[in-house]
Amino acid sequence: MFDKKIAFIMPIYPPHYDYARAFLKSWRRFQMPRQADLFFVFSSAEEAALFAEAEQKIVMPADIMDECLRRDSGIINVKKLYAINELKDRFKYLIVIDAESIILRSLNLLDLCERYFKDKILYGNYARKDVLTIVNSCLSYFPQGKAETFDHRLYLWFNQLCIYKTDNLNDFFAQTGIFKDIAALGRKDFDYYIYMLYLIFYQGFRVKNIGVTAAYGFCEDVVGNLEFVSNDYKTIPFPLATKNTEKHLPPP
C-alpha cells in the first residue's frame, strides 16, 4: 500500500497535452502531490514518450486498443476503467478527471472523499438535451427494473467529482460484468455514470434534485440559458464548476 491514500487518473492523448500541462501547473501550485499521486493514461508507449512531464504513466495494452479501434469503442471510457483496475489495490480512493480540468483552490482531498461516501448523496438536474440515451446505455449494465427505484431523468454527470472507493470495486465489476469485455464499452457507456448507478442500487446512495434545468449537467454547463426552479443548488458544496456555473455558486 502506498503512503498516499488517493490517486488521480487522467486519460490523455496528444491533442490535449497542453491542457494537461496547464493542469499540472495548478496541481503543483496547490501542492496536491502532498496528498495524492497522479497517473496519466496513454493509448500507446509512443504517445507516452511524447509527454515527458508525466512522472507516473499507465500505457494501454496494444491488444485492447486494437480491439477498441476495431469495434469503434468508447476509448476514453475504456482507458479510465483499465487504469482503475490497475490501481484499485494500491489506493483507498481514485479520482478520475479529464485533461481540460484545472485546480482553482486548496482542497483536503481525503476529507472530501470520506464525506462523499459518508453522506451518500448524488446531485442531479433535468437536462434539455437527449441524455436518456446515455442513461439507458449505462442502465443496461444492471437488471431490468432497477431504474424504477429513482427518477433517472435527473442527470448526474459531472455534478460531483468522479470518486471511486476501491474497496467496493470488485463488487462493482461483479455486479455489472463491465470488465469481462472492457473493449465492448461504447461511447455512451460513461464509466462514472455506471458507477454512480451502482452506488444507488447497491450502496445506499440517494439522488437529490438541485432545482436546475441545464443543457446537460449543471456543473459542466458552458452554454448558459440555465433555468433555476429553486435555490437548492446554493446550499450544495459543489467541488467543481465551469466559468459559466461558478458565478452562480456561493463562495467556497
β-strand pairing of 162-165 with 93-96: antiparallel
Residue 36 lies in a domain: yes
What are residue 199's phi and psi, to 5 degrees?
A: -60, -40
Q: So what's the pLDDT on residue 252?
A: 65
Assess if residue 137 is contained within a domain: yes
Question: Quick check: is 155 in a domain?
Answer: yes
**For residue 221, is it within any domain?**
yes
Those residues of the chain that have pLDDT short of 50 are 1
pLDDT tens, residue by residue, 21-46: 999 999 999 999 999 999 999 999 99
**What is the structure's pLDDT at 84?**
98
Q: How far apart are CA 150 and CA 93, in angstroms?
A: 26
Structure confidence at residue 101 (pLDDT)? 93
- Residue 237: the pLDDT is 80
Residue 135's CATH number: 3.90.550
Q: Which of 175, 187, 110 is nearest to 141 (CA)?
A: 175
Whole-model pTM over 0.85 = yes
pLDDT of residue 244: 84
What is the per-residue pLDDT for 156? 96
Cell numbers given for 185: 464499452
Q: Which domain holds residue 44?
A: 6-246
- Asked if residue 230 is part of any domain, the answer here is yes
What total of structural domains would you count in the chain?
Answer: 1
Residue 251 lies in a domain: no
User: Which amino acid appears at position 74 of this protein?
Assistant: G
Name residues whose C-beta falls within 8 Å of residue 102's C-beta, 6 or more positions apart in sequence. 22, 23, 26
Residue 1 is predicted with a pLDDT of 45
CA distance 241 to 220: 6
